[in-house]
Chain A
């Protein structure tokens, strides 16, 4: 079997060496193939659907504008069902079968973590604009770019707003967080805020993913006299926490991560879903005063069906803005499109504007994270909208 092994190894090395000299993978005379891994089935499809629809809108739009330097864009989507093992399989398939040039959808945080070794080995330019975690860029991978603050930075900025703008300094703070990576990151931001302002942290509640009932947790919070609650839930958890608080006649100020910036959260919470705050780095779909949002909504109306429009949410804006960044880098490369060039152009971005969808985006040598500025939104349950209540705040 040994000669076999050597034979295969040599063959593989030879092919890999040969590829470098040829044209970039996924790029032909008139086409660029891009890949996106998104959760399209199961509960997290709320994220993945919106994200993939935004990419679809961008694809239609960019092709209608004549493509990138004459090349049409084609996006291949793979569903990973939010399971890391399947994300990796999907990426392998897209590399092998669809021969993608770059990756512009990276699913969730641990899903990307599972794909990172392969992204690094093959040098695939990738842009993460869906779920940001510090180990995506720390240590940085040469070709993986991350846009948007971590939940930690996002919540810390949200806390700054609570204390400095709303004057909630002498309140009793508590956090409810999910027992996963995401929850831990929210907690990190919460603790940063507590430390920065010397707040009274009375309670930290950990709960399991998918938990439905929060009566014990909120009773605990009531017993501790909590007045400000930071929530590290995904979707329904925010709503249930809000409802339980209202049920227990608690008067609390509620701050959620950007996962609270979704209309289902409002809808599920009913009357309790009015007035809560969510920290986010993209505006709301209804923030038409932001030029990027107005343009995206115009395009979406043009290219998407009625039911697809209903699936849009903040992840669509993040996805569209991410595609704008990537389009810019690819356009800059001109006709001679290579992976190395795209990485170089991405790296060179300095204060790149996405028409207000993200704050200015800046990368640099060895800097693969653009923690764009955060704003705070407030929920209006009545008309199912969110309004921007703060300026963009630079994150630390």
Chain B
């Protein structure tokens, strides 16, 4: 039983990261119907920027995070303005391919600037940890859980009560109608990209603190795909919950079955779930009219 609890708790600790990354995907998909294949790369870029900041100035973890949130918002806005907005009105698939091209570029830029060797993101919480009975977690993992909760709550408040949030939901529901109702759709897109980049930035800083930096950090973006698909591509909260589910599932499958099953269990699960629910657990089914 102890073993089960340990596996579950450490699974949740990984899962919250998937959840955070997944929320970024889901938000952009919800607002713009595009899967942002560069999400993992944006995350990597910001975690490397965090590395440069943390090596130049000694900042406490929260200070670093705050600076990174600010930077990632700018990164998100710039990417949207330069790469995504010109694609407006074109096939969604073309925009998806643009994000893939962007991903390739960011990967190259990261190695150009920071090199390919693994690095340690220096923060004041380092590998300190907290012990609860038999469970031991890094402080950073604890923060990750808190930050996911904060982001989920923040997103809920934003989408529910803020003017921009309502506009975003309207745009997601029916873009043309929203446009006719006087919503500035390009503005909505820009904000969606900025928020998604902020979430990517938060997950990047957390990943860097927990596992260190490397030019393959972007693969964590792929690892979060099962979470978004399971939750439903357009469900921001679904992604958060499914992230945790997938994290726990991975750990349990490794703990009880093993053989490297962990790395594919998420993908196996989405294959099964999609057969039953093609739009994931929380996604909105698309009703087509001809």
Contact = CB atoms under 8 A, between A and B. Distances in A.
Contact of B250 (A41, A216, A240, A268): A216
Contact of B211 (A42, A49, A213, A249): A213
Interface string B218-260: 0110000000000000000000000000000011101100111
Q: Identify the interface centre among A211, A213, A248: most chain B CB within 10 Å of its CB.
A: A213
Contacts, number: 92
A243 B255 CA distance: 18
A236 interface: yes
Interface residues of B, number: 36
A207 interface: yes
B213 to A, nearest CB: 9
A217 B260 CA distance: 10
A210 to B, nearest CB: 6
Interface in A172-189: 179
Contacts of B255: 216, 219-220
B120 A270 contact: yes
B14 A213 contact: yes
Contact of B6 (A211, A219, A240, A264): A219
Interface in B1-24: 3, 6-7, 10-11, 13-14
Nearest to B14: A213
A215 B251 contact: yes
A246 B211 contact: no
Interface in B93-144: 111, 116-120, 126-127, 129, 136, 138
A212 B220 contact: yes
A286 interface: no
13 contacts: A46-B117, A211-B263, A213-B211, A215-B11, A216-B11, A216-B255, A220-B254, A220-B255, A236-B118, A236-B212, A247-B129, A264-B117, A271-B127
B215 interface: yes
B212 A43 contact: no
Interface class of chain A by DSSP = helix
B212 A46 contact: no
B111 to A, nearest CB: 7
Interface residues of A, number: 37
A116 B252 CA distance: 42
A247 B250 contact: no
Contacts of B259: 206
Contacts of B120: 267-268, 270
A223 interface: yes
Given A216-B255, A239-B212, A270 B127 contact: yes
Contact of A206 (B11, B14, B118, B258): B258
A247 B116 contact: no
Contact of A236 (B116, B214, B260): B214
Interface of B: 3, 6-7, 10-11, 13-14, 111, 116-120, 126-127, 129, 136, 138, 207, 211-212, 214-216, 219-220, 250-252, 254-255, 258-260, 262-263
A205 interface: yes
Given A42-B215, A220-B255, A247-B136, A215 B263 contact: no
B258 A235 contact: no
B214 to A, nearest CB: 6
A81 B111 CA distance: 13
Given A216-B11, A271-B127, 6 more contacts: A46-B116, A46-B117, A210-B216, A217-B254, A236-B214, A239-B118
A223 B119 CA distance: 31
Contacts of A219: 3, 6-7, 10, 255
A264 B114 CA distance: 14
A41 B215 CA distance: 10
A243 B127 contact: yes
A-B residue pairs, 3 tightest by C-beta: A215-B10, A208-B263, A216-B254
A229 to B, nearest CB: 16
A46 B118 CA distance: 9
A45 interface: yes
Given A215-B10, A216-B10, A247-B136, A235 B118 contact: yes
A267 B14 CA distance: 22
Contact of B111 (A41, A212, A216, A223): A41
A179 B127 contact: no
A206 B264 CA distance: 13
A29 B259 CA distance: 57
A210 B264 CA distance: 13
A179 B260 contact: yes
A317 interface: no
Contacts of A211: 262-263
B215 A215 contact: no
Nearest to B107: A42
Contacts of A217: 254
Interface string A244-258: 001111000000000
